[in-house]
A and B are shown apart, each in its own frame.
Chain A
């Protein structure tokens, strides 16, 4: 244990003493993240505003507390012409009465953009409801003024929820990439970099076991890499508050608006588990690399897996089966999306953590088996 602690201290001091590394793993990414999130936040503001007019008609979930519900509410399901007819009959909806009554004021059709886009709903409403009504009105010689009939589209979803949804797609991916790049930088240098500079061989020559060497360096570099990511996270969550104090505007409101304390804690725990997998994967790659460049190239395999997992999790519709949470890295993206959208469950979290930890152990075992004095020298 003393040896492991010696390595942990050594790794931390190594970063503190290296101004370039300090800048590259702590300062530079913070600036980049702040800048990119600021831009993203602005973009999301624009998109959120545009939703009110752009998104198609939708069914269900009307928020009575936040909208004026006077008039007739049409809660429609997407479906065929026959289903629409059945729906109208079932609800005893008389379109003649509705449209005549609201000829002057128009009809509000509410939708909730968070419940999934149903692009066919608007044409269906027009085709199956409005058009037949107008045709009937013209046929009955009552068409005068019908063409002025107003159909207003209102998005009933909460703006904060919309941001949260966008965030749940983007943030897990963004943070995984930040975490991974940090760890590649720190762990890659700890193993392959020290091998390249002839430092690792000096450590291998001491009477410590391969397990102690790998665990000590792994733990030290994990702490550095993860603390760097935690700092980003804190900067992100405090960013809005700082911005408000300084300028009176919430430049990075995206994060503060979306995350609660519980979500942040669960995310940090998730990141701790994910970082173990990343570190162990980079260590394994470093065992086969002679230089940092080689180690980075080999570690890129994990980078591609992160991208694929993040994209795959973004396309996950509805509740994913529990087995999905046993797939390392993909499960993290999935679970983080759940956390951010407020749909995470304890069992999903436990399966994710267990899967990541088992992967970590397998990768460490593979590293220990593949590491030898010969691998420490070029």
Chain B
């Protein structure tokens, strides 16, 4: 479904992602886990076609993100807190605008808007400016607009970040509903409870490298840990230390 093969992403002299490989199956919720600065967001951006990999390949539905970006964009949704909607517009206006950009006809926009706005309680405020909404309502409106074109793959970077418990539950339930419909979800988070509640499988990235992949149980067992938290910390300590020592060594070499 989604194949990430030996992907490396460099920003000037910094390698954000190093030779990363994952295989994400159709209809599953795959969680990317990692500490801050591990390369999760960069990976998500490459999946969403926003960034191009320096080397390696990413295939979505057999399509190469480098060559078939336009076709892939029709079937994916990417939501992150860094990507926002224009605050001066109302949810109705935003839905019409983005619906047109996705090439949807008026009827499709109306139907999908109605379904999503109803689920996320946006309908009563659909004619009010987005900038006047609370954080939770903004997030829900972003999700609704993001999913307006009914994508097959949903990529969410920190989907429940900054949300209250009730809104968090509403978003999580929605993601599970989408999974039930056979959609593939890739989420990135550092909140382990969210991962345990939603994910079928996880991939752990530390310092831009893939250090573990599998079901939560498999990752726990492989690291002889009690739970996912312990497994994560163990993986982090082993791999981050290795990375630090390599850097230290290379600095020594440079010095001499």
Contacts and interface: CB of A to CB of B under 8 A. Distances in A.
B97 A10 contact: yes
A207 interface: yes
Nearest to B155: A205
A63 interface: no
A205 B88 contact: no
Contacts, number: 70
B107 interface: no
Contact of A13 (B50, B82, B93, B102): B93
B127 interface: no
B105 to A, nearest CB: 11
B88 A201 contact: no
Interface in B21-77: 45, 48-52, 70-71, 73-74
A355 to B, nearest CB: 34
Interface footprint category on B? 20 to 34
A372 B83 contact: no
A202 B84 contact: yes
If over half of B's interface residues share one DSSP class (helix, strand or loop), that class is named, otherwise mixed; here it is loop
A199 B100 contact: no
B103 interface: yes
A241 B71 CA distance: 58
Contacts of A209: 70
B52 A206 contact: no
Given A3-B100, A17-B89, A206-B102, A374 B73 contact: no
B101 A6 contact: yes
B78 interface: yes
Interface of A: 2-3, 6, 10, 13-14, 17-18, 194, 197-199, 201-209, 372-374, 376-378
The 3 closest A-B pairs by CB, nearest first: A206-B101, A373-B50, A207-B73
12 contacts: A6-B100, A14-B86, A194-B86, A198-B83, A199-B83, A201-B50, A201-B82, A205-B78, A207-B71, A373-B50, A373-B51, A377-B83
Interface of B: 45, 48-52, 70-71, 73-74, 78, 82-89, 93, 97-98, 100-103
